[in-house]
Structure 1
Amino acid sequence: METSNFLQNGNIPKDTNNSGCNRMNLCTLALLILVVVPLLIVCFLCLHSQSPEICWAHATSPSEHRDHDIIWKWNLTDCSSFVRNGSDQKLEILQSGMYFIYAQVTRIKKIESYFTMLLYKDENIVLNQMTGTNTGENTASINFGRPYFLSKGEKLFCKVNDGLEHILTENLTYWGLYKM
């Protein structure tokens, strides 16, 4: 008879005490509440308080100076530690890193030759060259944008091959960068 009683009730003794398992679950829960949750809160507060400074430098309203040098009207937003506009109209990189550089040139008159905007890094290194068509249309635009790794101390500037005589110098001709 005893055998059938054992089979009916399974092999679990009736006097089993599960309090050890319950204490372990409570200890794990207490550990989570006392250690992990405060750690997550501290991490969230630290990351939340460090809003990233986004440097954006944007040049518009070009005017021509000597030797086809272009004088730009600069708007630098949160850039004091990343870039600065020098007195020579060159944008100097103050902190090495990835920068997204963009530019657009809009031609407003029909011309015989192609028009080109050159983006230079220092004096003799061309970062990008954009060439527009000489089609029969009265207006045409060229533009580009892409990331570059720039090193501290490098200087950027733009030139247009035919001066600004045929270029719209208001809001449709510009260049700039922002720190990625």
Structure 2
Amino acid sequence: MEMSNFLENGNIPREANNSRCNGMNLCTLAALALLILVVVPLLIACFLCLHSQSPEICWAHATLPSEDRDGYIIWKWNLTDCSSFIRNGSDQKLEILQSGMYFIYAQVTRIKTIKDYFTMTLYRDQNILLNQMTGTNSGEDTVSINFGRPYFLSKGEKLFCKVNNGLGHISTENQTYWGLYKM
């Protein structure tokens, strides 16, 4: 009769209920411990491996151009992590120390109307034209020209920049710059 009360009321004896609960708790704790023992060290190892292999990113950026007596442009250079890739020479030329792909970019902003077109020319070595940007001579006071693209540069090559008609019509603040980074 006592057995029928258990079945009619849908009750499960306490001993059976506790043993199933204890088994579930034990399985959950074992799975959690296994997860902690396997996954956490794996994540730490991956993080350490990726962190130790992070590449050095070289970025060279020139701003605030000024002219010397001979009309050459003197740039204020900011070289970030470039000691093994690029060297800034005393002649205002960037020397490539490691061959590879480099992304070169430039912008020139004209702030005065002039009769001629204004041009910024980027050279490799002495007289090899790498890129030339030409802006309009329209009646607008402020006009910008810019470019950016990847180039393969070889060790020992030197880069430099020229602007026609000097810097008298060019913004020498943060709107005129050029630079590159190693890809």
TM-based fold match above 0.5: yes
Check the 8 A contact 1:68/1:160 in 2, yes or no: no
Aligned position for 2:88: 85
**Structure 1 Cα separation of the partners of residues 43 and 98 of structure 2:** 32
Alignment-mate amino acid for residue 79 of structure 1:
C
Residue 69 of structure 1 deviates from its aligned partner by 1.1
3-state DSSP of counterpart to 1:68 = coil
Where do 5+ consecutive residues of structure 2 fail to align? 1-40
Counterpart of 1:95 in structure 2 is 98
Q: How many residues align?
A: 143
**Alignment RMSD (CA, Å):** 1.7
Matched residues in 1 for 2:52 and 2:98: separation?
Answer: 22
Distance 1:40 1:108 in 2: 54
Between the aligned partners of 1:68 and 1:159, the Cα distance in structure 2 is: 9
Structure 2 matches for 1:27-176, cutoff 5 A? 45-176=48-179
Query: Separation in 2 of the partners of 1:66 and 1:90?
Result: 17
Query: Partners in 2 of 1:70 and 1:89 — Cα distance?
Result: 8
Q: CA deviation at 1:40?
A: 9.9
Percent identity between the two aligned chains: 86
TM-score by length of 2: 0.74
Classify the secondary structure of the residue corresponding to 1:104.
strand
Q: Which amino acid aligns with 2:151?
A: Y
Q: Which secondary structure state, in structure 1, belongs to the residue aligned with residue 179 of structure 2?
A: strand
**Gapped regions of structure 1 (runs ≥ 5):** 1-37
Residue deviations 1:108-144 (CA, integer Å, cap 9, x gap): 0011110000000011101000000000000100000
CA deviations over 1:26-63 (Å, ceiling 9, x no partner): xxxxxxxxxxxx99986764333111110000000000
